[in-house]
């Protein structure tokens, strides 16, 4: 894809925890509307990579550029703002607030961004049917099936109009049918909205939804073998 | 009853291979199944029972049988007319199928076939018998890994490349499944799970390469 659609670039990323290196020189990029899968066994550095790209962790060396801005050099407050305004997140579990009904969980990013409650909830109402959650807005997360919780998490990740979504094992706790539904919705919606997606997974079935894959081992890319 | 004294597993595997007409290097040409993954075709035995199943629904002509078979089971390889009529002749000889009517005209398709009571019994028996699992081993893959290790060549790089090839096929199947009919989508899922099983082995083997190499004397 051409350079003008490039959304995020990571170059020469290194990160260690104490004496243990988690990333040993990672290069990677994502274009607008592209779904990228980062694969690798547990301990290969996938999640560390995702956290560095999303500005949750600061790499020891290397640079992360989002839309021309150096994420790794932004002050904390700017980075938080960037994450809220431009990024969406989907994790494996434990991401919905158990005390809040689904609608308010989905509306949360808008509420945190300063949108009025009524407007935020109205926007959330519009997202539920897109993810097959019609009529479930008043339920609490504990009353939903696993696949529905993940779909609500996707709605929440998308509601504030992010340009990039980070998903860490988004189907990890689901059976294969629910996993297929979640991935299909995530990928379809991302494409419709021209959102870039970075999915970290060890599941080949999940990676098969991505337009492109990189495979990691020991903090490095092993596939594709040569970086163009 | 179809002549099928399938008792021993080994014998059955050979039998199935022989019946299926699978030759080494056979690959599926259809766009749905990109090159790289060999497929064991339906053995003749399965085709016979599939036709019996279709006749149980309704009496049919040979042409209609072929069309119905291809729609439901033929995504990998459609039936040839010759196969249909040969199978029907055999089923008729075995008393599992009878001719329900003959219309005026020429050609084999003027006959309408129906399943007999004996055919229904045989079909029921076949459907209720669990199948011996047929591990569709990618023996080529296994052989390459063992040979690479034995000769001191880098098996890891081979496994990485192979993983990539498998993932690429999974990707194509996943794309093909979007917009596929329910039947085709079931078949694609079946393929996906099998490729995934290979991948699990590839990952497992990757992590055990050191031990394997030591055991093989390298």
**Domain ranges across chain B:** 9-128, 139-215
CA–CA min distance A81, chain B (Å): 35
Q: Which chain B residue is nearest to residue A211, measuring alpha carbons?
A: B171
Range of the structural domain that residue A210 is part of: 3-223
The pLDDT tens digits for B59-100 are: 999 999 999 998 887 766 788 989 999 999 999 999 999 999
* Residue B174 pLDDT level (bands cut at 50, 70, 90): very high
Q: What is the pLDDT of residue B37?
A: 38
Provide the number of structural domains found in chain A: 1
Domain CATH code at residue A38: 3.40.50.300
Contacts of B192 in chain A (CB under 8 A): 205, 208
CATH of domain B9-128: 1.10.10.10
Q: What is the mean pLDDT of residues B41-68?
A: 87
Mean pLDDT of chain B: 76
pLDDT at B106 over 70: no
Beta strands A6-17; A61-66: pairing state: antiparallel
3-state secondary structure of B79: coil
3-state secondary structure of B102: strand
Contacts of B37 in chain A (CB under 8 A): none
3-state secondary structure chain A: CCHHHEEEEEEEEEEEECCEEEEEEEEEEEECCCEEEEECCCCCCHHHHHHHHCCCCCCCEEEEEECCEEHHHCCHHHHHHHHHHHEEEECCCCCCCCCCCHHHHHHHHHHHCCCCHHHHHHHHHHHHHHCCCCCCCCCCHHHCCHHHHHHHHHHHHHCCCCCEEEEECCCCCCCHHHHHHHHHHHHHHHHHCCCEEEEEECCHHHHCCCCEEEEEECCEEEECCCCC
Q: Which distant-in-sequence residues (6+ apart) come within 8 Å of B184 by Cβ?
A: B32, B75, B177
How many residues are given for chain A?
228
Interface residues on A facing B, Cβ-Cβ cutoff 8 A? 39, 41, 184, 204-205, 207-210, 213, 215, 222-225
pLDDT at B197 over 50: yes
Asked whether residue A228 is assigned to any structural domain, the reply reads no
Chain A contact probe: residue of B159, B171, B207 with most A CBs at under 10 A: B171
* Residue B154 pLDDT level (bands cut at 50, 70, 90): confident
Query: What radius of gyration, in Å, describes the C-alpha atoms of chain A?
Result: 17
Q: State the Cα angle at A172 between A170 and A176, rounded to 5°.
A: 100
Cβ pair A184:B196 closer than 8 A: no
Asked whether residue A156 is assigned to any structural domain, the reply reads yes
CA–CA min distance B45, chain A (Å): 31
- Of chain A, the end-to-end C-alpha distance in Å amounts to 12
- C-alpha B182/C-alpha B177 separation (Å) is 9
Q: Which chain B residue is nearest to residue A203, measuring alpha carbons?
A: B196
* Residue A94 pLDDT level (bands cut at 50, 70, 90): low
Q: What is the pLDDT of residue B158?
A: 83
Q: Which distant-in-sequence residues (6+ apart) come within 8 Å of A31 by Cβ?
A: A1, A5, A6, A7, A196
Q: What is the pLDDT of residue B28?
A: 28
With beta carbons less than 8 A apart as the criterion, state whether A219 and A21 touch: yes
B111 CB neighbour count, 10 Å cutoff = 16
A37: which strand partners?
A199, A213
CA–CA min distance B32, chain A (Å): 15
Nearest to A52 by CA among A19, A17, A18: A17
CA A109, A134, A163, A115 dihedral sign is negative
| B60-61 β-sheet, strand order | B60-61, B111-115, B97-102
* Residue A4 pLDDT level (bands cut at 50, 70, 90): low
- C-alpha A197/C-alpha A163 separation (Å) is 9
Crossing angle of the two packed helices B62-73 and B44-57, in degrees rounded to 10 = 110
Interface residues on B facing A, Cβ-Cβ cutoff 8 A? 160-161, 163-164, 166-167, 170-171, 173-174, 178, 192, 195-196, 199, 203, 207
Cβ pair A208:B167 closer than 8 A: yes
Cβ pair A208:B163 closer than 8 A: no
Lowest mean pLDDT among A147-151, B14-18, B79-83, B179-183: B14-18
Q: What is the pLDDT of residue B14?
A: 33
Nearest to A204 among B161, B170, B178 (CB): B170
The pLDDT tens digits for A28-37 are: 999 999 999 9
Alpha carbon of B98 to those of B50, B52, B64, B66, B105: distances in Å?
A: 16, 11, 16, 17, 19
Q: What is the pLDDT of residue B182?
A: 82
Q: What is the mean pLDDT of residues A166-174?
A: 90
- C-alpha B61/C-alpha B100 separation (Å) is 10
Burial of residue A149, with CB atoms counted within 10 A of its CB: 0-12 exposed, 13-18 middle, 19 or more buried: buried
CA–CA min distance A204, chain B (Å): 7
Q: What is the mean pLDDT of residues A169-178?
A: 88
A3 CB neighbour count, 10 Å cutoff = 8
Nearest to A124 by CA among A104, A138, A101, A142: A104
Asked whether residue A116 is assigned to any structural domain, the reply reads yes
pLDDT cut 90: percent of chain A above it? 77
Predicted TM-score (pTM) above 0.95: no
With beta carbons less than 8 A apart as the criterion, state whether A36 and A213 touch: yes
Query: Is the link from the previous residue into A224 a cis peptide, with omega within 30 of 0?
Result: yes
B25 CB neighbour count, 10 Å cutoff = 7
pLDDT at A223 over 90: no
């Amino acid at each position: 894809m051409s350079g003008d659609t490039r959304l995020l670039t990571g170059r020469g990323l290194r990160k260690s925890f104490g004496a243990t290196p988690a990333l040993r020189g990672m290069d990677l990029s994502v274009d607008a509307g592209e779904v990228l899968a980062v694969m690798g066994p547990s301990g290969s550095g996938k999640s560390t990579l995702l956290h560095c790209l999303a500005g949750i962790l600061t790499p020891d060396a290397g640079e992360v550029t989002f839309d021309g801005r150096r994420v790794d050099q932004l002050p904390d407050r700017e980075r938080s703002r960037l994450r809220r305004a431009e990024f969406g997140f989907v994790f494996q579990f434990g991401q919905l607030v158990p005390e809040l009904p689904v609608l308010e969980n989905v509306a949360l990013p808008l509420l945190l961004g300063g949108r009025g409650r009524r407007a935020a909830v109205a926007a959330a109402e519009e997202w539920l049917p897109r993810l097959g959650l019609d009529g479930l807005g008043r339920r609490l997360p504990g009353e939903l099936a696993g696949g529905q919780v993940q779909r609500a998490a996707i709605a929440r990740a998308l509601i504030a109009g992010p340009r990039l979504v980070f998903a860490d094992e988004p189907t990890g706790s689901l059976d294969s049918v629910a996993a297929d539904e979640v991935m299909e919705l995530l990928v379809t919606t991302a494409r419709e909205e021209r959102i870039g997606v970075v999915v970290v997974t060890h599941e080949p079935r999940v990676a098969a939804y991505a337009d492109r894959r990189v495979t990691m081992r020991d903090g490095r890319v092993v596939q594709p073998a040569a970086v163009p | 009853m179809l002549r099928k004294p399938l008792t021993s597993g080994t014998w059955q595997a050979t039998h199935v291979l022989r019946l299926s007409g699978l030759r080494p290097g056979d690959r599926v040409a259809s766009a749905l199944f990109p090159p790289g993954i060999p497929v064991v075709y339906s053995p003749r035995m399965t085709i016979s029972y599939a036709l019996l199943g279709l006749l149980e629904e309704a009496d049919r002509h040979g042409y209609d049988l072929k069309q119905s078979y291809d729609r439901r089971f033929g995504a990998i390889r459609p039936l040839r007319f010759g196969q249909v009529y040969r199978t029907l002749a055999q089923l008729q000889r075995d008393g599992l199928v009878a001719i329900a009517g003959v219309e005026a005209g020429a050609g084999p398709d003027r006959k309408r076939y129906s399943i007999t009571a004996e055919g229904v019994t045989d079909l029921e028996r076949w459907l209720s018998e669990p199948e011996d699992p047929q591990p569709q081993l990618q023996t080529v893959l296994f052989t390459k890994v063992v040979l690479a290790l034995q000769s001191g060549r880098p098996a890891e790089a081979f496994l990485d490349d192979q993983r990539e090839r498998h993932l690429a096929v999974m990707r194509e199947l996943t794309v093909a499944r979007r917009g596929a009919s329910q039947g085709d989508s079931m078949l694609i899922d079946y393929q996906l799970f099998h490729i995934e099983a290979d991948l699990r082995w590839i990952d497992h083997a990757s992590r055990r390469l050191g031990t394997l190499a030591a055991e093989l004397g390298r």
